[in-house]
Structure 1
């Protein structure tokens, strides 16, 4: 079995998060979703778990509290895009479903085109596309 990745993020508004992640095109797994959490499949082995504030806090210890993206950033969630157009499409869908652009789409380094946006709770997501020919590779 392949190792799986589960990104767990706190939310202040589960319904708004559901609208956002559905709008990005991810598939909701109803078997692992309820009034405290929503499970979203990115790929067969990569998932996002959106947890209500209280449920998220139940996993924390030592007086730790959920972070909602303002101020310091501990995590940059990054996904690969299949093309520049798909990077732009993710940005458009994020904006249309309650997100905000954090860093405009740009080719900041030769062959690397990306955009960063925030979900409704301020969690940062980046979608990037690599032109493998710029790195002397064919991408296969």
Structure 2
């Protein structure tokens, strides 16, 4: 597991990464957001951008939520490879498995419907094997 340290600099807070081993392992982080939460999933993209020394796509999987280019620029991601995938409950697990098998991105998943224990375990194992950092969000 990769460790991030939070440092206070005169200009504000920043995340810095310690040296990583040649083979990195991914992880699954889960967030439960209540309706009307001030936290918006897109706000987590810069965190994912800091998660690896290697360049990876930043992927945001959510239902019908258009990506705003100006907002990405305000987050400092204008030069990052960011992709939004529109997902639905029927196909999300298959899509997540394919994305993790490619092992070239970090992902935010806004999960639709019920997340079963076997699905969570599968996502966690695939994230670990692929070196992908996965943030899985459920709304309640």
Could you state the TM-score of these two structures normalised by the residue count of structure 2?
0.26
Structure with more relative contact order (C-alpha pairs < 8 Å, separation 6 or more) = 2
Larger fraction in strand: 1
Could you state the TM-score of these two structures normalised by the residue count of structure 1?
0.26
Larger radius of gyration: 1
